[in-house]
Chains A and B, each alone.
Chain A
Amino acid sequence: MKYAAQGQRRPPWYLLATASIGAVGVLLPLAYLVVRAVEADIEVVRELVLRTRNLRLLANTLLLCAGVLAGTTLISVPLAFITVRTDLRYKRVLTVLCALPLAVPGYVMAYALISLGGNYGILARLTGLVMPRLSGLWGATVALTLYTYPYLFLNLRAALAGVDPSYEESARSLGYGRTEVFFRVTLPHLRPALLAGWLVIGLYVLGDFGAVALMRYEVFSYAIFTQYHGAFDRVYAAWLSLMLLGVTVAVVALEWRLLGRARLTRTGSGVGRRPAEIPLVATRVPAKLFVWGVIAAAVGLPVLILGYWLLLSPPAISPVEVLRSFLASAGASAPAAVVASLLALPVAYTAARYPSLTARVLERAAYIGYAIPPLALALAMVFFALHSAPLLYQTLPLLVLAYALNFQALALGPIRSAVLQASPRLEEAARSLGRNRVQAFVATVLPLMRRGIIAGSVLVFVIAMKELPITFLLGPTGYRTLAMNVFSRTSEAMLAQAAPYAAAIVVFSGLFIGFLLKYESPQ
């Protein structure tokens, strides 16, 4: 049961103050980014902004987005339909397998694809077949598609299961065939889920750095990194970040516009009746081939590659080295998870108990932290630290803070639903029994939120373990996480050496896949 707050009371000042920390934390560095970009000489700025290279970066970025969205849609729509609506057996197991690529970050997927082709690739070594090594637009598109399609797949599954069967049945009774019903009735109902999935994937593609860098495909994020890291041109890096932010804002605005109309067609969730399963007859074999094909490419391939390197050509890297790297990742991710939950808690509470414009703005600000490309956020944090807190620059606390600001939105979801499930009457009952606001919250609601807070923290922890671009820009000197090891060794063509680190990430993330399935798919 969910409870809405009563009346239009104002939240107490201390709640507003704590709830604003996350928003300020995101917006303040962004302000520094703008300051840094515009303080340069006007002639320099004109030259930087009007470079034709920027247009090429924009075209490449949009092309990659379009390619990945098309690819993920072509995979996810049939996959969701088959695993929800047909009588295929073992659908539960197949669903988990299809969601498993979430455990394989884009740079690991790129690493697997790079390992496969070429003269000395694994394909050549195992079969003698020489396949050109994937790179550029194609390579980046395939790597990101195979990694990100589960976001769309899980969204579509939930939406398909929620479509009231009576719509489809009435269309059938009006003389439409199954295919027509799918396109005229079912698909329009999936629109919100499609848009939500596309937004997540689009934002991910805009922000991705590992896969595009390994595939040597020049998009904004890659260019920001090379400008900052290689050319040390920080003003240009700042301008590129602002341009990427502009693209991000355009994507979010487009999604809102499209969703605004789609919301009207959405049916209520929690329909009691589930649609009947469609028996596969002539299409049983193609359906099975399709599902297993996707699983083979997205899960089988990375597992095969990692298995090959680890078993047939084991690198000379001691497990201690991998463990140290794992602990480095965890050393930043674990405190980040705690900080992110602490930031999210007052925001979630304000949004649930005092729904108002202020609460919505605070909540949106948390999502801005998640939506802005990580390299832009990291660069903004660099400028902020250099300008206001030089002692923090290249220290672990700054990295932890950046992670927390980036991922606080992930903690917000589970924590918010935990607050909503605890009745405000409980707090009022505690107050009528002599507790003040804070005591009442601690005594009654906090114990009930434990699960939600743990869920939010673990989610942040797992995602932060895989983080690459922020770590690259903000990590203390000599700080090497699992993700950094995979990336740097792959980009130096030391493929076998990257394998243990990549395997550690995949195994670790895989352990939490059930968890991700539970909390990342809409209820």
Chain B
Amino acid sequence: MQLLNVRKLTKTFDETHGPVVDCVEFSVRPGEIFGLLGPSGCGKTTMLRLIAGFESPDTGDILLNERSILATPAERREIGLVFQDYALFPHLSVADNIAFALRRVPKREKQERIAEALRLVGLTRLASRMPHEISGGQQQRVALGRAIAAEPKIILLDEPFSNLDASLRESTRSDVRDLLKKTGMSAILVTHDQEEALSISDRLAVMNEGRIEQIGTPETVYHRPRTPFVAQFLGRTNIVHGTAAGDTADTPLGRLPLDRTAHGSVLLSLRPEHLELLREEGEHPPATVLVREFKGHDITYRIELAGIEYLAHTEYYRSFHPGQGVRVVPRAPAVVLQYRAWCTEQHPKPENGNRPAYARLTAEAAISRP
């Protein structure tokens, strides 16, 4: 059974700019941490506000436990929300902020529930402090504790780590994940940070220009991106044109194995770490090293082959120098990409309004010809 179902949700603020959320569909399972990843302005925060009930969609439906909640006002949806800036009430102490979530709880029980929530987020000592007297990480935990104390069906987290120092972010991230898992709470986490989304989510959706381009486990989305945008957004990649014939495709890098069968003209993604560089030997086409970036644990090379630039990561001990001739050997099958997935029941957008991401991305990604 799905806990939350989002069905073909569309929201437009300004007709001239097109929909901010465009026919979005996904579902969240009980106990799952679902990541919503995308660049700023892709519509993910609006998505969250639609679910929370602070915006209403133009079309589509949102089901919680299989019942539509569109007509339910925000305060009765039983959906918790943790804001980017935490939205702690500045005139209330830490304990009172949590007590705010426990309106319907009888007085006797209330103290116990507050103590329990504080214990859960590890802030028992700070109960009487005011929000401005505690650190950013602690504020974040109070906000989470407050949301959990209300016992919502699901918690929405809007860029929850973006206001934290880089040093604090990683530890807070695993704290939050542990906390959600310990309480069995389902959550949707919105972020623009791909590393964050990959590390905290059970499953994630990649959003771009109001649409979801791919949904899957972090591993799937990273290793087998479906669209050029997803391939690019989750780390650097080489986008390669080729002509497919079943399990392989002919490309400027030679004949490459594919992750799934395809025919005709295709667009392929090859992560830099899936390209190996060898000294000139074997049947692979010759290439030239252009630039070398030493990164400690590995080395990134920009190489040129038949007038096109590619990125390749090699282990630190395989050292090449600019100008050196090399051979490029793929280590994993190339991933076949498709054009953006259009919403099944909707007509594609007009060409001038919104070009397919494919054209734009290949210009940046397949990298300029020298």
Contact = CB atoms under 8 A, between A and B. Distances in A.
Nearest to B104: A434
B52 A428 contact: yes
A426 interface: yes
Given A7-B55, A433-B101, A434-B75, A428 B81 contact: yes
Contacts of B103: 433-435
Contacts of A448: 90-91
Nearest to A9: B55
Given A7-B55, A432-B52, A425 B76 contact: no
B228 interface: no
Contacts of B100: 430, 433, 443
A426 B101 CA distance: 13
A425 B90 CA distance: 12
B77 to A, nearest CB: 8
Nearest to A450: B91
A138 to B, nearest CB: 55
Contacts of A439: 75
Nearest to B45: A6
A439 B73 CA distance: 13
A326 B80 CA distance: 54
Interface residues on B, range: 20 to 34
B85 A432 contact: no
Contacts of B73: 431, 436
Contact of A429 (B77, B83, B104): B83
A440 interface: yes
Interface residues of A, number: 22
Interface in B48-76: 49, 52-55, 73-76
Contact of B89 (A6, A426, A436): A426
Nearest to B156: A432
Nearest to B74: A431
A428 B74 CA distance: 8
Contacts of B81: 428-429, 432
B54 A428 contact: yes
A447 B80 CA distance: 23
B23 interface: no
Contacts of B76: 434
Interface string B23-66: 00000000000000000000000100100111100000000000
Contacts of B75: 431-436, 439-440
B146 interface: yes
B363 interface: no
A18 interface: no
Given A431-B74, A436-B75, A440-B75, A426 B87 contact: yes
Nearest to A444: B89
A8 B146 contact: no
B147 interface: yes
Interface string A428-470: 1111111110011001100110000000000000000000000
Contact of B87 (A6, A7, A429): A429
Interface string A405-430: 00000000000000000010110111
B147 A7 contact: no
A425 B85 contact: yes
B147 A432 contact: yes
Given A431-B74, A432-B147, A436-B75, A425 B13 contact: no
Contacts of A425: 83, 85, 87
A441 B260 CA distance: 56
A428 B101 CA distance: 13
A448 B90 CA distance: 8
Contacts of A431: 53-54, 73-75
B95 interface: no
A9 B54 CA distance: 9
- Which of B13, B100, B147, B152 has the most CB atoms of chain A within a 10 A radius of its CB? B100
A499 to B, nearest CB: 47
B83 A433 contact: no
Contacts of B52: 428, 432
Nearest to B155: A432
A431 B83 CA distance: 13
A84 B77 CA distance: 56
A428 B90 contact: no
Given A428-B54, A428-B74, A433 B146 contact: yes
Most chain B Cβ neighbours within 10 Å, of A7, A426, A432, A443: A432
A432 B74 contact: yes
A426 B83 CA distance: 9
Given A433-B100, A435-B75, A443-B100, A428 B83 contact: yes
A403 B53 CA distance: 41
Contacts of B85: 423, 425
Contact of B150 (A428, A434, A443, A444): A434
B103 to A, nearest CB: 6
A440 B89 CA distance: 11
Contacts of A426: 87, 89
B79 interface: yes
A7 B146 contact: no
A431 B156 CA distance: 14
Interface string B83-103: 101010111000000001101
A436 B74 CA distance: 8
B154 to A, nearest CB: 11
A506 B294 CA distance: 76
A433 B104 CA distance: 11
Interface in B146-176: 146-147, 150, 152
A454 to B, nearest CB: 15
Contacts of B53: 431
B45 to A, nearest CB: 9
B13 A8 contact: yes
A9 B11 CA distance: 12
Contacts of B79: 432
A367 to B, nearest CB: 29
A348 B73 CA distance: 24
Contacts of A428: 52, 54, 74, 81, 83, 87
A447 B83 contact: no
Contacts of B150: 432-434
A440 B103 CA distance: 12
Nearest to A435: B75
A521 to B, nearest CB: 26
Given A432-B152, A433-B146, 14 more contacts: A423-B85, A425-B83, A426-B89, A429-B146, A430-B89, A430-B100, A431-B54, A431-B73, A431-B74, A432-B77, A434-B101, A435-B75, A439-B75, A448-B91
27 contacts: A7-B46, A8-B13, A426-B89, A428-B74, A429-B87, A429-B89, A429-B143, A431-B54, A431-B73, A431-B74, A432-B77, A432-B81, A433-B75, A433-B80, A433-B100, A433-B101, A433-B103, A433-B150, A434-B101, A434-B103, A435-B103, A436-B75, A439-B75, A443-B89, A444-B89, A447-B91, A448-B91
Of all A-B residue pairs in the complex, the 6 with the closest CB atoms, nearest first, are A425-B87, A429-B87, A432-B81, A431-B74, A431-B75, A425-B83
